[in-house]
Amino acid sequence: MLPESGTELSIVEVAPRDGLQNEAIVLAPKLRAEFIRRLTSTGISRIEAGSFVNPKWIPAMAGTADVFAELDGLNGVRLSALTPNARGFADACATSVGEVAVFMSASETHNQKNTNCSTQESVDRFAPILEQSTALGLRVRGYLSVVAGCPYEGSVAVSRVVRLGSRLLEMGCYELSLGDTIGVATPRQIHTLMDGFAAEGIDSDRLAWHLHDTRGTALANVVAGLERGVRTFDASAGGLGGCPYAPGASGNVATEDVVYLADQMGLSTGIDLDALVDVSGWMAEHLGKAPVSRVWQAMWSAKETR
């Protein structure tokens, strides 16, 4: 069933992390911070600001600590960062980070390629992060990638997704973001995975969807998530993004596309779509390419012909 008019959605803006991590142009921390400041001014209230990972593998996320330093004192927004291990968590804790996210994959091969360890080793790495964050009063989000298909192994069993996802929640993650990393999912798969979690007693309010739009199915999958009671969706301004360890995978569902859908369905995101289009247009100039978002394209050309 679709949500009632007036229902609030929570958008987690991931462009400054997922959006920029795969770009050929590496942006300076000052500019990334300015991007975040501008995103905040559109009403976005949750933003993934960067990641504390090895800059040898993800050069675009180098200087994430400097991004946080630039944003010190920014109000009205929850800023988070990816922390895959103790080193990343310690680096994050030395900043003003408000929340961290641990990430692992549902398939062994993607986990190995992405984080240089097995899924069991990921769980072992996360245990002390969750213990320490509880003591520090820091929230931890959990990500599970390739839930609808792996670029190396193909299909991934629902039972495996549900087992690993449940483990992250049991360990203390307050929310589990389910990643269709390579954008292969269809609404039926979203329903099947939601059935799997429901059978384990996991409510939709603990789940979020992180949908890449490689094959143009992401927005349909958002609707499937809405039908199943999910109210939190990751999205990326302009549709920027991709995973460096998922060859050919394109960006997340565009925030503009989700906000347009929500607005027209009478759902509330708190985000000013017109202002967001301007921010994505500004970022596009820095990256030297137009956003892929269909809504952005329609609204931008309408602005230009005005």
When asked if residue 213 is in the footprint of Mg ion (CB under 5 A), the reply is no
Residue nearest ligand HMG (C-beta atom): 179
CB closer to ligand HMG out of 84 and 225: 84
Contact partner at residue 145 from ligand HMG, Mg ion, none, CB < 5 to 8 Å by partner kind? ligand HMG
At residue 22's C-alpha, the angle toward residues 91 and 46, to 5°, is 60
Specify the long-range contacts of residues 257-260, CB closer than 8 Å, at least 24 apart. 257/218, 257/219, 257/293, 257/294, 257/295, 258/9, 258/11, 258/219, 258/222, 258/233, 259/11, 259/295, 260/295
By CB under 6 A, name the one of 11, 44, 53, 240 that touches ligand HMG. Answer: 53
By CB under 6 A, name the one of 210, 219, 273, 280 that touches ligand HMG. Answer: 210
Based on the residue annotation, tell me whether 150 is a catalytic residue of this protein: no
Query: In whole angstroms, what is the distance from residue 207 CA to residue 209 CA?
Result: 7
Where do we find the tokens 């003003």?
96
The minimum distance between CB 86 and ligand HMG, in angstroms, equals 8
Note whether 71 and 36 are within 8 A (CB). yes
**Segment lying near ligand HMG (by CB under 6 A), choices 83-91, 184-192, 214-222, 256-264:** 83-91
Closest CA to 211 of 38, 25, 18, 24: 18
CB closer to Mg ion out of 145 and 280: 145
CB closer to ligand HMG out of 121 and 272: 121
Note whether 263 and 273 are within 8 A (CB). yes
Site string for Mg ion, 5-44 (x = CB under 5 A): -------------x--------------------------
CB closer to Mg ion out of 18 and 99: 18
When asked if residue 221 is in the footprint of ligand HMG (CB under 6 A), the reply is no
Catalytic residue from among 93, 150, 173, 243: 243
Query: In whole angstroms, what is the distance from residue 7 CA to residue 105 CA?
Result: 31
Query: In whole angstroms, what is the distance from residue 304 CA to residue 175 CA?
Result: 40
Q: How many other β-carbons are positioned within 10 Å of the β-carbon of residue 278?
A: 16
Query: In whole angstroms, what is the distance from residue 240 CA to residue 18 CA?
Result: 7
Where do we find the tokens 């800059």?
55
The alpha-helical segments, DSSP class H, found in 41-186 are 64-70, 86-93, 108-115, 119-136, 158-170
Taking CB under 6 A as the criterion, which residues in 108-147 touch ligand HMG? 114-117, 143, 145
CB closer to ligand HMG out of 116 and 155: 116
When asked if residue 189 is in the footprint of ligand HMG (CB under 6 A), the reply is no
The residues that are catalytic are 243
Q: Where do contacts with Mg ion occur on this chain (CB under 5 A)?
A: 18
Q: Where do contacts with ligand HMG occur on this chain (CB under 6 A)?
A: 18, 21, 51-54, 57-58, 82, 84-85, 87-88, 103, 114-117, 143, 145, 179, 181, 210, 212, 243-244
